[in-house]
Structure 1
Amino acid sequence: MFPQDEKAENQVPYDTQLSSVQQAVNQFREDNSVLPIKTTEQDTPIYQKYTIDFGQLIPRYMQQPPGSSFENGGAYQYVIVDPEEKAEVKVIDLSIMREIQELQRAINMYIGSNDYAPIKESVGPGLFEIDFDRLDYNGEKVVESPYHNDTSLPLLINERGDVRIDYSIDINIALQEFNNDFEQGDDIRDILTDNYPIAPAFSVPYTLDENEEPTFKEE
């Protein structure tokens, strides 16, 4: 589950922890016909939308949240992807969430003061580069990839003013590394959730272009 080039700190949610939560979620779903998830806003990005509510799992299905979980002092938030079908348990790196939330606050303040977003060039449908100079940042802000060492991911803003992470680099590496049968029009973020325990938080949909490389798809 953990490729060699994945960062060591992201191996904290060991297979056994993920497996134990998956078993608890599966049993809860079988018993209750619903998933043990928290209520979120309608416009919550898809990979953060189905956050596991450990309060519903404890004590009947688990004794306590896994040590790597936020609820137990860990660095990860446990979520469910593909809730209608597989309902697979994945995690989100909370350090990335904090960085994005910090930038989002700065952007919201800028929009509040200026009535327009700090954007530069359009890079895709409803997606723009962020003008960090307007935010008084010292250079462009990036986040470290949760998938690959020494890889920095650009940050973008959508037409609603929401910060998004550009996972094109990670997806491109994964497409070369793992077998897949994607076609143009498919949302190819599945290449990440199918092969890593980490969910691509704050991402946008991607598909394949005519050269079979990742390109932005309308959110």
Structure 2
Amino acid sequence: MKAHKTKFALLLTILMTLVLSGCMYPADEKATKENPYEDQVETIQKAVDTYKESSGGLLPIKTRDLETDRYIKYPIEFSKIVPAYTEKIPSNAYENGGIFQYILIDVEENPTVKLVDLRIAERIRELNLRRQINGSLPFKEAVGENVYEIDYEKMGFKSPLMVDSPYSNVQLPIVVSGDGNFYVDYSIELNKILSEKKPDVKKGDDIRYLLEQDNLVVPAYSLPYTVNEDNEPVFVGNIKSR
């Protein structure tokens, strides 16, 4: 009887281990798809640099329209660097089932690998689909020059749609420009940097660089910001990009 109990306990332990392993694996796998790993970005940066050197200055990027926003304008074409310059596509890359698109910024002076959080793009697509169904887009109060809040109730939503910030645990609102395009409002994050770090910024400059310079993820799907007289972030129209 004692041997039987021991055998049963052993089988129960094995079963529990298998169950726990099965529960933990999806979470671990999810983490590899949703975390902006610095080492993976560094690996792709080295591959890009090597490719550029061996190709006479060319970059491994896809072709986009010249009017495309600079944060999504130069997506990396992995087929040009994998496996010749790096072993594999990063686990968190969109092409490998992840949530990030690998892009280049500052392509003229210093091509730098950064990430775009594509969950934001999905949220904007959701709004565009609802607008197509409704046939119109209700605007609310202006929050900047030709930038408005969205009347979600008239669009058929029970509550405003938000996006998780790629920089902290806050949620960011979405705004709409006068031409009907949706953008993420990064004012909360910019205001935090301005008030806490007090960087030297000038009125008229696009201050979105404050978000990209110390982070792997860029503020994609956004409008330019500058500062007002109170050193607060405000939407602007045609301004210089840094």
TM-score range, shorter chain: 0.7 to 0.9
Cα distance in 1 between the residues matched to 2:132 and 2:72: 20
Cα distance in 2 between the residues matched to 1:10 and 1:181: 36
Instruction: Give the CA deviation at 1:197.
Output: 0.7
Instruction: Give the CA deviation at 1:78.
Output: 0.8
| Residue 47 (structure 1) aligned to one of 63, 71, 74 | 71
Instruction: Give the CA deviation at 1:215.
Output: 0.9
Cα distance in 1 between the residues matched to 2:236 and 2:179: 16
Given the alignment of the two structures, is residue 101 of structure 1 paired with residue 120 of structure 2, yes or no? no
Which structure is larger by alpha-carbon Rg, 1 or 2?
2
| Superposition pairs of residues 185-200 of structure 1, within 5 angstroms | 185-200=204-219
Instruction: Give the CA deviation at 1:58.
Output: 1.6
Instruction: Give the CA deviation at 1:9.
Output: 8.5
Structure 2 residue aligned with 1:17: 40
Q: TM-score, normalised by structure 1?
A: 0.86
Cα distance in 2 between the residues matched to 1:166 and 1:14: 25
Q: 1:11 to 1:197 in 2, by over 3 A?
A: farther
Residue pair 2:32, 2:91 contacting (<8 A) in 1 also: no
* SS of match in other structure, 1:40: coil
Which AA in structure 1 matches 2:190? Answer: I
| Residue 159 (structure 1) aligned to one of 150, 159, 178 | 178
Q: Give % identity.
A: 38
Structure 1 residue aligned with 2:159: 139
Instruction: Give the CA deviation at 1:10.
Output: 9.3
Instruction: Give the CA deviation at 1:29.
Output: 2.1
| Residue 57 (structure 1) aligned to one of 58, 81, 94 | 81
String of CA shifts for 1:17-46, please: whole Å, max 9, x gaps.
010111111222223322211122343322
Cα distance in 2 between the residues matched to 1:144 and 1:9: 18
Instruction: Give the CA deviation at 1:108.
Output: 3.4
Residue pair 1:107, 1:118 contacting (<8 A) in 2 also: no
* SS of match in other structure, 1:133: helix
| Superposition pairs of residues 56-135 of structure 1, within 5 angstroms | 56-110=80-134, 113-114=135-136, 117-135=137-155
Which AA in structure 1 matches 2:175? Answer: L
Q: TM-score, normalised by structure 2?
A: 0.79
Answer with 120-129 or 170-179: which moved more. Answer: 170-179
Cα distance in 2 between the residues matched to 1:12 and 1:140: 26
Instruction: Give the CA deviation at 1:180.
Output: 2.8
Instruction: Give the CA deviation at 1:66.
Output: 1.0
Answer with 133-142 or 42-51: which moved more. Answer: 42-51
Instruction: Give the CA deviation at 1:101.
Output: 1.2
Which AA in structure 2 matches 1:69? Answer: A
Cα distance in 2 between the residues matched to 1:11 and 1:188: 26
Instruction: Give the CA deviation at 1:87.
Output: 1.7
Q: For the aligned residues, what is the CA RMSD?
A: 2.0
Instruction: Give the CA deviation at 1:165.
Output: 0.4
Structure 2 residue aligned with 1:3: none
Q: Which segments of 5 or more consecutive residues in structure 2 lack a partner in the other structure?
A: 1-30
Answer with 82-91 or 38-47: which moved more. Answer: 38-47
| Residue 209 (structure 1) aligned to one of 218, 221, 228 | 228
Cα distance in 2 between the residues matched to 1:38 and 1:26: 16
Which AA in structure 1 matches 2:112? Answer: E
| Residue 29 (structure 1) aligned to one of 52, 65, 70 | 52
